[in-house]
Amino acid sequence: MEKNWSAKQMPRQGGKLAIVTGANRGLGYYTSLELARAGAEVIMAARDGKTAADARAQILAEVPAAKLKVEHLDLASLGSVREFANRVAGAHNRLDLLVNNAAVMSLPTRQVTVDNYERQFATNHLGHFALTGLLLPLLCSAPAPRVVTVASGLAAFGRLDFDNLQSEKRYVPQGAYEVSKLANLLFMLELNRRAPPGLLSVGAHPGVASTDLPQSGLVWLHKVASQHPSTGALSQLYAAAGDDVAGGDYFGPRGLLEMYGPPKKTKVTKRALDESNARELWKRSEALTGVSFALEAKPDPAPALGSPSHRIVVAS
């Protein structure tokens, strides 16, 4: 990776189909823009249809040949996640790239979703867990699929407590966000361990980017020490399209304290390396979402040359 890598150096993405969640603003908008500029067909998934349509129009004004489609997706609703996945599966026979980008941050008071789950954990982790599982057959039909899960440097402060996983006993706005972002990393690494050959599960974090994400806590930091979201998106763009990316890789800004600058390969927090916690979180997530994806190494008795050796099972 070049030290000052930028989106201009992205490999061409022509012929690829990508989904970006939270594509209507901030990091998701610039991720969609640059993937489309590189030639990918991008499904812009967002909860707010109007802002997503506006974002699509802005991209088309800059990249008239962009292939873009807006689709409604509310990650806080498992019903919406299933409906979205069904629409995508009905229209496409493969998916090359899934960017799990959308998030909510530091909600001042504890809120619950339509499924009665804490909103930050539900949106940031459970929704993306379910979405990935439901889209896994399409991903495994692509020649070189990737799943990019966007975490945060604040994941390093997250403490996973399975007796208070959704802040049922005590809610701290930023603490709940940190737990959800640690869950993103545990999921990313566990998916990499379970993935069939060819599927890359990778992660990224944007540093501190000037988005409207924080609603309490570190709002001041985003105002005084942040970078433009077009720069913040570079880490996830490299994870999505870099030609030297391996499963389990994690990317973040190379500037001071990984708060700003072009991307570099970095390390996940030690808490994300706890495989026992990752397995337990996976089991809990399957139970909470009703989405179970088993990745089993079961080669055919006489597999053809180049045929996949894994059977993909998605139960929902």
Quick check: is 177 catalytic?
yes
SS3 category, 203: strand
Sign, CA dihedral 26-28-34-36, equals: negative
- Marked catalytic residue, from 30, 177, 250, 260: 177
Detail the DSSP E strand segments found in the chain. 17-21, 41-46, 67-72, 97-100, 146-150, 200-204, 250-253, 263-265, 292-297, 310-315
- Beta bridge partners, 292, equal 315
The encoded tokens of residue 141 equal 């039909």
What burial letters (b/e) apply to 92-129, b meaning 16+ CB within 10 Å?
beebbbbbbbbbbbbbeebeebeeebbbbbbbbbbbbb
Active site residues: 177
